[in-house]
Amino acid sequence: MFKFTRFFATKATPQREPIPGSHQVPNSAGGFTWRVDDWARLDRFLILGSEGGTYYISEHKLTVENAEAVRRCITADGVRTVDRIVAISDAGRAPRNDPAIFALAMAAKLGDERTRRAAYAALPKVCRIGTHLMHFADYAQGFGGWGRGMRKAVGAWFNAKPAADLAFQLAKYQSRDGWSNRDLLRLAHPRAASPSHDRLFAWAVKGELPEAAADDPALALIVAMAELAKTTDVKAAAKLIRDARIPRECVPTQLLVHAEIWDALAAAMPMTAMIRNLATMTRVGLIAPGSAATRRIAEQLTDARRLAGARVHPIAVLAALLTYRSGHGARGGGTWSPVAQIADALDTAFYASFGFVEAAGKRMLLALDVSGSMGCGAIAGVPNLTPRIGSAAMALVTAATERSSTFVAFSTELTTLSISPRQRLDDVVAEVERLPMGGTDCALPMLWAQQNRVDVDTFCVYTDNETWAGSVHPAQALRAYRDARGIPAKLVVVGMTSNGFSIADPDDAGMLDVVGFDTATPPVIADFARA
């Protein structure tokens, strides 16, 4: 007999050909996968951005593809798009806020009347600090000028803040990326909401202390900064910083070499700033083995409530841990001797930053794609943070809550891994980095489990979906596994780049697409596995 099914069958199709009747499209690697819809693409972009591109797709092309998807979402349902931007930005689900700010600027400039109104109304929720507002102004300029809606919204951003909060914003973020408060206030030209606002606007525009500043409690920080600028005595400067809660950005550079100054700054330092300045605080000697400051800072870093309140993203913690342990900055910044207590605290903080995830209590196979393409790119612009390292970190979070989870890594071969969340995160990263790279066959986790009679309720595959090398598609391998083992196994595809592909069959309710580095991903995986 002539074996027609060798060339045309729905149960087993080589990955370089589409499953017949499936609407699969070619991915960047020459394999066939499904295309994620524009709303899923919007989520991927909001969480992963497009900075640095991927192994296959240039930064330029990836940015255009994602922005086009955002534009289509705005056209299809602008208000829904704005709601989605707010939901992801406001909950701190993304490692960086810039994709959300960019998408909001597009909605404000390209949307219909209702969408524009919704976008401007959402401005304070998405642009929470001065830097965000400056980035919004910059992005918006790419799509239009300063119309009435824009002027009103930016003016309202300044006026809606209580005067003392506004003073802090104006002082801390005076200018960023070619924009200053002076530019924004001149363009928006808001009528001041109060005499204090009026004085603050005047200070931001002219740079001089306005009259009666000393008598206005809302301007206390501005007055203290002016005094600090004249202070050369370190002790007196430290006292001023402590009393007026002056942030680091407002402290003259020559003072920032003293441990005493950093001790004063640390007292009121927000969590994200603390995480970013650990190396500096170590270099100046404030953080030292066994010091009181080290103990205090380590306690703060591991305080789950404070981490949640400050919306600290696990990627920020992971990046800090990798840099801190290395003892030298990625882009200069000198060297330091890392203190173990702080590295330990960051390890704890990483898991804590996801919040509490209730275990699904299912048998899980956590499969890391370690093919060559996963070693390329910098997630959220963090140097050396590749999708490969990021996958391991994300998988560890699920492993930390699910007792019966097994780790495997695959390219065109599969390796079982003996890593566990009881190990230090950076040790796991080092172990994963040592694994050999190769081609990509995302069907291997299912094929391996079937061959080795491993019972799995939920497969979690961490990948860029650029699969091509196998003789059967991952979705087909999953269906074969279900039949062979009699387990209605599910597949969660954790997308680690913002490309438009997925190995998950959209018509199979047992397969789900989620975005890597979304802080909502571990609870979503647990819910899906439990259902």
Residues that bind Ca ion (CB under 5 A): 371, 373, 440, 466
Q: Which residue has the tokens 């400056």?
A: 134
How far apart are the C-alpha atoms of 529 and 525, rounded to whole Å? 6
Q: Of 326, 364, 327, give the one whose Cα is nearest residue 461.
A: 364
Using the minimum distance from each CB to Ca ion, give the nearer residue, 50 or 440.
440
CB of 373 to Ca ion, least distance (A): 3
Using the minimum distance from each CB to Ca ion, give the nearer residue, 54 or 66.
54
Q: 493 with 514: CB under 8 angstroms?
A: yes
CB of 108 to Ca ion, least distance (A): 37
How far apart are the C-alpha atoms of 287 and 341, rounded to whole Å? 10
Using the minimum distance from each CB to Ca ion, give the nearer residue, 31 or 523.
31
SS3 512: strand
CB of 369 to Ca ion, least distance (A): 6
CB of 463 to Ca ion, least distance (A): 8
Between strands 405-410 and 364-369, the pairing is parallel
How far apart are the C-alpha atoms of 180 and 205, rounded to whole Å? 9
Using the minimum distance from each CB to Ca ion, give the nearer residue, 192 or 378.
378
Using the minimum distance from each CB to Ca ion, give the nearer residue, 115 or 373.
373
Q: 366 with 414: CB under 8 angstroms?
A: no
Using the minimum distance from each CB to Ca ion, give the nearer residue, 29 or 525.
29
Assigned token pair, 146: 């300063």
Using the minimum distance from each CB to Ca ion, give the nearer residue, 43 or 466.
466
449 Cβ partners below 8 Å, 6+ apart?
365, 456, 459, 481, 485
Angle between helix axes 130-141 and 98-110 (nearest 10 degrees) is 50
Q: Which own/partner pairs from 192-197 qualify as long-range (CB within 8 Å, at least 24 positions apart)?
A: 192/159, 193/159, 193/160, 194/163, 196/163, 197/158, 197/159, 197/163, 197/166
Using the minimum distance from each CB to Ca ion, give the nearer residue, 257 or 437.
437
- Determine the Cα angle at 322 with ends 316 and 327, to 5°: 125
CB of 35 to Ca ion, least distance (A): 18
3-state helix, strand, coil in the chain (%, to 5): 55, 10, 35
How far apart are the C-alpha atoms of 278 and 323, rounded to whole Å? 10
CB of 387 to Ca ion, least distance (A): 10
Using the minimum distance from each CB to Ca ion, give the nearer residue, 280 or 373.
373
- For 403, phi and psi rounded to 5 degrees? -65, -45
Assigned token pair, 34: 């499904």
CB of 502 to Ca ion, least distance (A): 14
Using the minimum distance from each CB to Ca ion, give the nearer residue, 304 or 376.
376
CB of 320 to Ca ion, least distance (A): 28
Q: Of 160, 82, 118, 55, give the one whose Cα is nearest residue 387.
A: 55
Cα end-to-end span (Å), the chain: 45
In the β-sheet with 25-26, what is the strand arrangement from edge to edge? 25-26, 32-35, 501-502
How far apart are the C-alpha atoms of 374 and 438, rounded to whole Å? 10
Using the minimum distance from each CB to Ca ion, give the nearer residue, 55 or 262.
55
Using the minimum distance from each CB to Ca ion, give the nearer residue, 440 or 499.
440
CB of 440 to Ca ion, least distance (A): 3
CB of 59 to Ca ion, least distance (A): 18
How far apart are the C-alpha atoms of 431 and 10, rounded to whole Å? 38
CB of 229 to Ca ion, least distance (A): 54
How far apart are the C-alpha atoms of 316 and 4, rounded to whole Å? 53
CB of 60 to Ca ion, least distance (A): 21
